[in-house]
């Protein structure tokens, strides 16, 4: 359970999925959820929980986050 916001946790496919507390109850459809996996992280669209899941090993996840922080991806 997410101690930061237990209402934003979901268990499916053996993974515990978390949605950012910034998404709120009316996230506007542009929300992602993440889950810790054995070797890294998984990410999916919150409006399509049964849809495509992107999986990252730990190194790729760290690179992805570093690129986001550096503004390397257009998020709009």
Q: Which band of pLDDT confidence, cut at 50, 70 and 90, is reported for residue 10?
A: low
pLDDT higher than 50, residue 32 = yes
| Rounded Cα–Cα distance for residues 57 and 42 (Å) | 9
Check pLDDT > 80 for residue 11: no
Q: Parallel, antiparallel, or unpaired for β 40-45 and 53-57?
A: antiparallel
pLDDT confidence bin for 60, thresholds 50/70/90:
very high
Q: What is the mean pLDDT of the chain?
A: 79
Instruction: Identify whether the C-beta of residue 19 lies closer than 8 Å to the C-beta of residue 30.
Output: no
Q: Residue 3's pLDDT band (boundaries 50, 70, 90)?
A: very low
């Amino acid at each position: 359970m997410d101690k930061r916001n237990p209402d934003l946790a979901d268990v499916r496919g053996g993974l515990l999925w978390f949605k950012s507390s910034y998404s709120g109850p009316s996230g506007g459809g542009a929300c992602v959820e993440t889950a810790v996996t054995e070797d890294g992280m998984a990410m999916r669209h919150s409006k399509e929980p049964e849809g495509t899941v992107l999986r990252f090993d730990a190194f790729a996840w760290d690179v992805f986050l570093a690129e986001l922080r550096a503004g390397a991806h257009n998020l709009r």
